[in-house]
Amino acid sequence: MRKGVRASRLVYVPELLDVLVLPDENGQTSSGRLARAIKAEAMLIEACEHYDSPSSDALKALFGLTGDHAAPLYRRRKIAGAFFDVRPRTFTKNYEDDLIMDLAAELWRIVGRE
Cβ-contact 46, 26 below 8 angstroms: no
State yes or no: cis peptide before 54, omega within 30 of 0: yes
Q: What is the mean pLDDT of residues 68-91?
A: 94
Task: Identify the pLDDT of residue 42.
Answer: 95
Predicted model pTM? 0.86
- Max mean pLDDT among 27-31, 53-57, 67-71 falls in 53-57
Task: Identify the pLDDT of residue 79.
Answer: 96
Give the model's confidence band at 1: pLDDT under 50 very low, under 70 low, under 90 confident, else very high. low
Q: How many CB atoms lie within 10 A of CB 84?
A: 16
Q: What is the mean pLDDT of residues 69-87?
A: 94
Q: What is the mean pLDDT of residues 1-22?
A: 85
Q: What is the DSSP string of 20-85?
A: HSPPPTT---HHHHHHHHHHHHHHHHHHHHTSPTTHHHHHHHHTT-SS-TTS-HHHHHHHHHHTTT
Is a pLDDT exceeding 80 seen at residue 27?
no
- Residue 111's H or E segment, with its range, is helix 97-113
